[in-house]
Amino acid sequence: MVAPGRTIESSTMTKKPSGRGHGAQYASLQKNYCFACGKNNPGGMRLKFDYDEDGDRFICRFRLGKRYTGPPGHCHGGIIATILDEAMGKVNKLHQVIALTSQITVHYFKPVPLNHPLRVESRELRVRGRKHTNMAEILNQEGEVLARSEGLFVAIDPHKMFAKFVDR
């Protein structure tokens, strides 16, 4: 948990899901420079996700600071899409796969405020072979959905695609 008034600056999931894989083994990168969740990216968001077993979803609680400004007092739409994409990507860990975003659709319902407690929740919709379809929502403290996304992710072999960046 983050103290009120602070922006989250952390990076990894606190509980690693197990099982439910389908062939491709999960691989860890040497260092994580991901803009959204990478602990090694000093300019990144360092979002931290937890897996909620009861709700079968990933959750990240955060606040967005002034550097993410779009419209006055509110977050830029590209940052909103980044947060939703990252949240949906975490869902693929349930299957112990690396899956890259192929398509993402974002619905912006209300402006996402800066410096307010927010959360993003994500869950799986379906899996067909290598294609994983997930959804995510950004909610305010009252539980109102501010933005929602659906994304298609395609499982890849990280050793083939990112060979020079992956520990063996």
**Domain covering 50-165: architecture:** Roll (3.10)
**Cβ–Cβ under 8 Å, residues 114 and 68:** yes
Residues facing residue 100 across a β-bridge? 154
For residue 114, the Cα-to-chain-centroid distance in whole angstroms is 18
Average pLDDT along the chain:
84
The predicted structure's pLDDT at residue 2: 36
How many CB atoms lie under 10 A from the CB of residue 73?
A: 12
Task: Answer whether residue 134 shows pLDDT above 90.
Answer: yes
What is d(CA 143, CA 95) in angstroms, rounded to the nearest whole number? Answer: 28
What is d(CA 148, CA 105) in angstroms, rounded to the nearest whole number? Answer: 8
Q: Output the 3-class SS for 52-105.
A: ECCCCEEEEEECCCHHHECCCCEECHHHHHHHHHHHHHHHHHHHCCEEEEEEEE
Q: What is the pLDDT of residues 60-82, one digit of tens each?
A: 999 999 999 999 999 999 999 99
Q: What is the pLDDT of residues 89-110, one digit of tens each?
A: 999 999 999 999 999 999 999 9
What is d(CA 138, CA 64) in angstroms, rounded to the nearest whole number? Answer: 12
Domain ranges of the chain: 50-165
